[in-house]
Structure 1
Amino acid sequence: MTSPAIAVRPGTTVRAASAVLGDHGFSALPVVDDDGRLVGIVSGADLLLAGMSPETATSPVSRVMRGTVISAPATASPAELTATMLSQRLRCLPIVTDGQVLVGVVSRSDLLRILTPADAVLAARVETALRAYSASPRWTVSVENGEVTVTGGFLDQAERRVIEALVRTVPGVRGTDLAS
């Protein structure tokens, strides 16, 4: 979850909201009142549909935002958040307290990070590095607690040293073992 959430106010201009979305790579922005309560949401699609004429660009975001917002309580479990996002086809989900005060935003990538073990992510990064070295890698990668084991044939000792050095460049690798 991104917390504190980056949000805009109803009076924020369409141009400014577009800039925030673009700068941060978000799919949507919560719109909050002066007390931090969720009053709407504006997506990149909403802004694109509004167009960027000089008149629209200086209009308040309240003219293009959606006032009906699906949100989740701060107590929701990852499974509940996932179910809501999938059933409603949401890319992000505002998280609120009892008084509808915005406390954060959960994105699909936030949920994927929870569901993907760190070792699996590290293995994928090592495999990507090996593919960059060899278009058709001959190695199998396994990771346990940050310790990377690369199994497979090496052409010679020089290639073995290159592979070991390459694996060590991947952030998060705690150790390497090259097995033939």
Structure 2
Amino acid sequence: MSSPAIAVSPGTTVRAASAMLGDHGFSALPVVDDDGRLVGIVSGADLLLAGMSPETAQAPVSKVMRGSVVSASATASPAELTATMLAKRLRCLPIVTEEQVLVGVVSRSDLLRILTPADAVLAARVETTLRAYSGGPRWTVAVRDGEVSVSGTFADQAERKVVEALVRTVPGVRGTRVAC
């Protein structure tokens, strides 16, 4: 979860909201009142649909935001957040207190990080590194507690050492074992 959430007020201009979305790479921004309560959401699609004429660019976000917002409780589990996001086809989900005060935003990538074991992420990074070196999948990668094992056929001892060195360059690798 991103917390504190980057949000805009209903009076923020469309141009300013558009710039914030672009600068931060978000798909949407929560809109909050002066007390921090969630009152709407404005997405990149909302802004594109509004157009960027000089009049629209200076209009307040309140003119283009959606006032009906799906949000989740700060006590929701990752499984509940995932179910809500999938059911509603959301890219991000504002997280609020009982009083509707915005405390953060959960994105799809936040949930993927939670739900994907660290070893699986590390294995994917190692496989990507080895594919970049070899031009395709040539070896089998297994990771357990940060210890990486690479098995398969190597052209010679020099290639085996290169693969071992490449694996060690991947952040998070605690140890390597390259087997022929």
TM range (shorter): over 0.9
Looking at structure 2, the residues matched to 136 and 85 of structure 1 have their Cα atoms a distance apart, in angstroms, of 34
- Report whether the alignment pairs 1:118 with 2:108: no
Q: 1:164 aligns to what?
A: 164
1:114 deviates by 1.2
Q: Deviations over 1:100-119 (max 9, x none)?
A: 00000011111111111010
Q: Matches of residues 119-134 of structure 1 in structure 2 within 5 Å?
A: 119-134=119-134
Q: Which amino acid aligns with 2:90?
A: L
Distance 1:153 1:84 in 2: 45
Question: Which AA in structure 2 matches 1:134?
Answer: S
Task: Answer yes or no: is 1:80 the counterpart of 2:80.
Answer: yes
Moved over 2 A (4+): none
Q: Give 1:141's aligned residue.
A: 141
CA-CA distance at 1:136 after TM superposition: 2.9
Q: CA deviation at 1:158?
A: 1.2
Which runs of 5 or more structure 2 residues have no equivalent in the other structure? none
SS at 2:4 equivalent: coil
Q: Which residue pairs with 1:60 in the alignment? A: 60
Aligned-partner Cα distance in 2 for 1:46–1:141: 43
The sequence identity of aligned pairs, in percent, is: 84
Partner of 2:46: 46
Alpha-carbon deviations, 1:103-155, whole Å to 9, x = none? 00011111111111010011011001111011233210000011100011111
Aligned twin of 2:152: 152
1:36 aligned counterpart, secondary structure: coil
Deviation at 1:165, TM superposition (A): 1.0
Give 1:82 deviation, angstroms. 0.9
Report the secondary structure of 2:176's partner residue.
strand
Structure 1 residues 97-112: aligned runs within 5 Å = 97-112=97-112
Q: Does 1:9 align with 2:23?
A: no
Gaps of 5+ in 1: none
For residue 6 of structure 1, report the CA deviation from its aligned partner: 0.5
Q: Please provide the CA RMSD for this pair.
A: 0.8
Residue 11 of structure 1: CA displacement? 0.6
1:92 aligns with 2:98: no
> Counterparts of 2:19 and 2:146 in 1: how far apart (Å)?
38
| TM-score, normalization by structure 1 | 0.98
One-letter identity of the residue aligned with 2:143: V
- Matched AA of 2:24: H
8 Å CA contact 2:131–2:138 kept in 1: the answer is no
> Counterpart of 1:163 in structure 2: which amino acid?
V
The code of the aligned residue for 1:136 comes to G
Task: Report SS of the residue matched to 2:39.
Answer: strand
- CA–CA separation in structure 2 for the residues paired with 1:93 and 1:8: 15
CA distance in 1, matches of 2:54, 2:95: 33
